[in-house]
A and B are shown apart, each in its own frame.
Chain A
Amino acid sequence: MKRAGIDFVVSVPCLNLKEVIPMVDRDPDIIHVPVTREEEGVGVCAGAYMGGRRPAMLMQNSGLGNSVNALASLNQLYGIPLVMIMSHRGVEGEPICAQVPMGELTTQLLEILKIPYFFPDSKADAIEKIQVAWKTALEGRRPSAVLLPIPFWR
């Protein structure tokens, strides 16, 4: 994230992010704001961008559903960039059936919302893809997403 210049991160926890969130919290170069719901985080990130920051949101893909109106009627309406770094649950290897419906809908939802998304296949690739995701968001003045499915975390 830091290589992409991201200096403002809101987070909604996911088990897969349990080691990433404390790292962000400890980093003196990043403002970290834990929020109660992803839609709220979209608003906080929009304010941060307006204030000159480069925002990202750490979240689970279930939170994409919670954020749809804000992504459309705030980010896309005004042209506000945002990178969503998403733990993609409900795909191959998922042990919890409740995660599956949103897992299957995630890429379709992103496509309907015209949000570009990237699938890194390794930690090194994630560093690269997060930079590409920020560049895409900034140049397109819109949200982008980096999806980290269950096999990524193994």
Chain B
Amino acid sequence: MQRIDAIRDIAQKAGQDDALLVCNIGIPCKELYSVCDTPGNFYMLGSMGLASSIGLGLALSLPRRKIIAIDGDGSVLMNLGSLATIATQAMENYLLVIIDNGSYGSTGDQPTATSKGADLAEIAKGAGNSRVCRTDNHEELIHILQGNDHDIIVVKVDPGNADVPNISMCPGDILRRFMAGLYQPSD
């Protein structure tokens, strides 16, 4: 499975659930933009490591909305404390999907620690999160996503980036569109 396949599955779930989607920096953002661009997507263009934290802040502020954050292994390793904070808050409306390709895919595919044995699902559990699942299988991912709104899912995928275009919106427009969309009828 490639990362863009997992992103497509997550975007489909977000659409079905009217969930807000926060996406990790770099090529994952471009892949999400290419498979499903909606006002409910927040494309994080800088601040590597903070997708899971931004998602948590949204989940705490909007307890009636479902929030999904897509993060990467390299980015989670940069902000491991976030896994402990997510555990302390235990939000029922927050799903964090960590797509682990063992690689810093946006900077030239240097290996991350997960390619040498670091296990993000075990780290997430050790940080206090009781509901952590993992998969490396496309059908199983779809099944897990259907039954989960508040867990941490670690999805193992192959390294490699899809050939996708750049995001054509400027950061201010991404934020304005995202925030304007929050106050639509689903709220």
Is the C-beta of A74 less than 8 angstroms from some C-beta in chain B? yes
Is B57's CB under 8 angstroms from A47's CB? Answer: yes
Given contacts A34-B85, A39-B49, A43-B47, contact A50 B171 (CB under 8 A): no
Is the C-beta of A53 less than 8 angstroms from some C-beta in chain B? yes
Within 8 A of B (CB), among A60-91: 69-70, 72-74, 77-80
Can you pick out 22 interface pairs between chain A and chain B where the beta carbons lie within 8 Å of each other? A33-B57, A34-B85, A37-B81, A40-B79, A40-B85, A41-B53, A42-B50, A42-B53, A43-B54, A43-B56, A45-B57, A47-B54, A47-B56, A47-B58, A51-B57, A51-B62, A52-B62, A70-B46, A74-B44, A74-B47, A77-B171, A79-B171
Q: Measured between C-beta atoms, what is the minimum distance from B166 to chain A in Å?
A: 16
Chain A interface residue count, CB cutoff 8 Å, equals 32
The one of B22, B47, B54, B61 that contacts A52, using a Cβ cutoff of 8 Å: B61
Is the C-beta of B106 less than 8 angstroms from some C-beta in chain A? no
- The list of the 4 closest CB pairs from A to B, nearest first, reads A47-B57, A73-B46, A51-B61, A36-B81
Q: Measured between C-beta atoms, what is the minimum distance from A32 to chain B in Å?
A: 10
Contacts of A37 in B (CB 8 A): 79, 81
Within 8 A of A (CB), among B104-141: none
| A131, B34: Cα distance in complex, Å | 42
User: Count of A-B contacts with CB under 8 A?
Assistant: 119
Q: Measured between C-beta atoms, what is the minimum distance from A124 to chain B in Å?
A: 30
| A65, B50: Cα distance in complex, Å | 16
Given contacts A47-B56, A51-B60, contact A35 B50 (CB under 8 A): no
| A39, B85: Cα distance in complex, Å | 13
At the interface, is chain B mostly helix, strand, loop or mixed? helix
Is B47's CB under 8 angstroms from A50's CB? Answer: no
Contacts of A72 in B (CB 8 A): 46
Is the C-beta of A17 less than 8 angstroms from some C-beta in chain B? no
| A8, B182: Cα distance in complex, Å | 18
Is the C-beta of A4 less than 8 angstroms from some C-beta in chain B? no
Is B45's CB under 8 angstroms from A31's CB? Answer: no
Q: Measured between C-beta atoms, what is the minimum distance from B174 to chain A in Å?
A: 7
Is the C-beta of A44 less than 8 angstroms from some C-beta in chain B? yes
Contacts of A51 in B (CB 8 A): 57-58, 60-62, 182
Is B60's CB under 8 angstroms from A33's CB? Answer: yes
B168-187 Cβ-contact flags toward A at 8 Å (1 or 0): 00011011001100100000
Is the C-beta of B38 less than 8 angstroms from some C-beta in chain A? no
Is the C-beta of A24 less than 8 angstroms from some C-beta in chain B? no
Is the C-beta of B103 less than 8 angstroms from some C-beta in chain A? no
Is A79's CB under 8 angstroms from B85's CB? Answer: no
Is the C-beta of B41 less than 8 angstroms from some C-beta in chain A? no
